Amino acid sequence: MIKNITFFFNGQEYTSQNYFTLSDLLKYFDYNSSLFVVEYNHFICPKKTWNDISIQNKDIIELVTIVGGG
């Protein structure tokens, strides 16, 4: 039996039958990794760990951009 995982990415709910890393997810959506930081389950996730983090059921991933202004 195939088990689906459901996770939240930038406020949207997604379901997948495949397991993948945080890095895979960001590549899939074609994000430029120099323009944001990743919040993974409410904690800032260092870029060097993105390949080591497998997306799990009910994970919450948010991209946080830094906006300058005056």
Question: Which of residues 66 and 15 earns the better pLDDT score?
Answer: 15
Contact 4, 15 (CB under 8 A): yes
The backbone region for 6, taken as left when phi is positive above 0, alpha when psi lies in -120 to 50, beta otherwise, is beta
64 pLDDT more than 80: yes
Q: What is the pLDDT of residues 5-55, one digit of tens each?
A: 999 999 999 999 988 999 999 999 998 888 889 999 999 999 999 999 999
What pLDDT, on the 0 to 100 scale, is given for residue 33? 81
Return the pLDDT at 40: 97
Please report the domains of the chain, with CATH numbers, ordered by start residue. Answer: 5-64 (3.10.20.30)
Q: Which two tokens stand for residue 5?
A: 């995982």
